[in-house]
Amino acid sequence: MAGSRISGEAPASSTAADLVLGMATAGRPEIAVRTLARLGRQSRLPARVVVSAPGAQDFDRDALPEPGLAEMINGTRGLTCQRNTILDGADDDAILFFIDDDFLLADDYLAELCALFSAHPDVAVATGLVVEDGIHGPGLSFEEAEAIIADVPPAGPEVLSDTYSGYGCNMAFRVSAARAVGARFHEGLPAYGWLEDVDFCRRLLPQGRIVRSNRLRGVHMGVKGGRDPGVRLGYSQIANPIHLMGRKTMGPLAALNHMGRNLTANTVKSLRPEPWIDRPGRLRGNLIAIGDLVRGRLDPARIQDLA
């Protein structure tokens, strides 16, 4: 897409030759198209935009203002499988930047991302500052997210903070670092792949720092459509941390913190659940997972049998 622009937007000033933007999407074709259409606002464009979707019903490339903006590849349904499909097609020297289909970038995000990796060869993974995250509430509309982005003030001097993991909704890494350790997104975590970002990033830690930058800003809408039933997420909230402990990509304290926080929230809030969260379903999933743990049959893949 070098030199390309999106109709009605200001032209980008340059293209980053080694930056690939990847998006895995399913069941939310309209929001995915609207999110990608905003890339024309970026002061620097990626060399490629690659979308992995299970089928044409999940992403209509022709609906983009400029269809040539993105490449589409079919991927087996499931976040980790779809991300691996994109990773497999990336060059070794690329910076691969994954965004969720409901994550809006500040207009200087990609320029700042390229500058970060150029200035800091010791960084393997970089993630940004989520100005507002709709995942913690009822979610944000596209218009609400755009209004928030429009009010983001200019970034201050760069501050890089070492962090346990990148946040999967906006996470970039050196493909060479992943290839050096044979890291891929763990397909043993099906569907939305709860904590797949943690598992992947911790595998890259020997290759360099994992950082959060204050100059990478965006808004996560936290769109609720296209997600699985609460019981599946509830099961994953227990099964996946324990599974990652076995893979040595999550320490016991971090795993216990994840499980304890979610189990407590689901128990307390099931009494008066939020309209946008299936708390009873999540609690049921937590309890099924605990029962499976006691019986010695805990397996993240079991969510595929739950409804």
Q: Which residue has the tokens 């996560």?
A: 220
Task: Express each pLDDT in 137-190 by its tens digit.
Answer: 999 999 999 999 999 998 899 999 999 999 999 999 999 999 999 999 999 999
d(CA 286, CA 282): 6
Task: Express each pLDDT in 82-93 by its tens digit.
Answer: 999 999 999 999
Q: What is the pLDDT averaged over residues 46-72?
A: 91
DSSP three-state, residue 55: coil
pLDDT score of 11? 43
Mean pLDDT of all residues belonging to the chain: 92
d(CA 34, CA 11): 18
Cα 142 → chain centroid? 17
Q: What are the phi and psi torsion angles at 98 (to 5°)? A: -95, 135
pLDDT score of 4? 37
Residue-range domain boundaries for the chain: 14-220, 230-305
Name the nearest CA neighbour of 164 among 194, 209, 207, 128.
209
Task: Express each pLDDT in 202-237 by its tens digit.
Answer: 999 999 999 999 999 999 999 876 556 799 999 999
pLDDT score of 228? 64
**Confidence band (pLDDT; 50, 70, 90) for 12?**
very low
Fold for 14-220, please state it. Answer: Spore Coat Polysaccharide Biosynthesis Protein SpsA; Chain A (3.90.550)
d(CA 77, CA 14): 34
pLDDT score of 14? 66
Cα–Cα separations (whole angstroms), residue 304 to 32, 236, 307: 25, 11, 8
Task: Express each pLDDT in 267-289 by its tens digit.
Answer: 999 999 999 999 999 999 999 99
56: left (phi over 0), alpha (psi -120 to 50) or beta: alpha
B/e letters for 27-46, b = 16+ CB within 10 Å, e = fewer, are bbbebbbbbbbbbbbbebbb
